[in-house]
């Protein structure tokens, strides 16, 4: 593979300071850098920006751009709100519950925990409207191997039918039977 890892992932934000504060308060991420220019280095377009970088743990970096001269942020109206999200890994279920409590205490609406069998997740939105997921593994290497083994057949079947293959339906049996 020619790629070692993801260097950083960058999204747009409405307010850089508000974003830094939110991610520190709710997820304990530190601001590790900021870059600001009046023009874009790669394209040389005149477009002032603030580019912030947050430590997402284990060498992962989450970045945001505030673009004050661009039209207001929007989202793709053809993509459901739940689809595009940033998923972070929690060390355990206790951390998941801690973040849920911190977010709810800050007035943030939280969905979950949702049981995906191999992990449990909570979901909430940041101040710019990005959907966030915090997930904690609850699986074994054998279960992950089982999921990996059926993945190619699932993708192939999906490509042909555009209907959900049932090879891994066991993942959400508990979640769906609970409702």
Task: Give the tens place of pLDDT for each residue, 82-99.
Answer: 999 999 999 999 999 999
Model confidence at 1, pLDDT cuts 50, 70, 90, reads confident
Cβ(104)–Cβ(124) under 8 Å? no
- The answer, yes or no, to whether residue 179 has pLDDT greater than 70, is no
Tell which residue, 142, 91, 82, has the closest CA to residue 112. Answer: 82
Q: What is the mean pLDDT of the chain?
A: 94
Residue ranges of the alpha helices (H) in 106-172? 141-161
pLDDT digits (tens, 9 = 90+) for 55-66: 999 999 999 999
Encode pLDDT of 127-159 as tens digits: 999 999 999 999 999 999 999 999 999 999 999
Which pLDDT does position 88 carry in this prediction?
A: 96
| Rounded Cα gap, residues 31 and 29, in angstroms | 7
Contact predicate 99/134, CB 8 Å:
yes
How confident is the model over 96-121, as a mean pLDDT? 96
Is 90 exceeded by the pLDDT of residue 5? Answer: no
Beta bridge partners of residue 31, listed in sequence order: 54
pTM score over 0.95: no
* Mean pLDDT on 46-58: 95
Residue 167 has pLDDT above 70, yes or no: yes
- Distance, CA of 132 to CA of 22 (rounded, Å): 12
C-alpha to C-alpha distances, 74 to 40, 70, 132, 179, nearest whole angstrom: 21, 11, 17, 32
Which residue reads 């874009």 in tokens?
A: 40
Cα distance between residue 100 and residue 104, in whole Å: 6
């Amino acid at each position: 593979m020619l790629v070692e890892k993801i260097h950083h992932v960058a999204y747009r934000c409405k307010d850089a300071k508000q974003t830094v504060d939110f991610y520190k308060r709710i997820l304990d991420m530190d601001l590790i850098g900021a870059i600001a220019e009046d023009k874009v280095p790669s394209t040389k377009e005149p477009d002032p920006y603030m580019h912030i970088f947050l430590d997402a743990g284990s060498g992962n970096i989450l970045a945001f751009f505030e673009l004050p001269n661009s039209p207001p942020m929007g989202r793709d109206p053809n993509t459901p709100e739940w689809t595009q999200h940033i998923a972070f890994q929690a060390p355990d279920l206790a951390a998941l519950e801690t973040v849920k409590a911190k977010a709810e205490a800050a007035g943030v609406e939280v969905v979950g925990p949702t049981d995906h069998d191999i992990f449990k997740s909570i979901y909430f939105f940041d101040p710019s409207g990005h959907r966030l997921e915090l997930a904690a593994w609850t699986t074994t290497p054998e279960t992950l191997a089982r999921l990996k083994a059926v993945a190619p057949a699932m993708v192939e079947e999906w490509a042909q039918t555009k209907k959900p293959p049932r090879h891994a339906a066991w993942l959400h049996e508990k979640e769906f039977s609970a409702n």
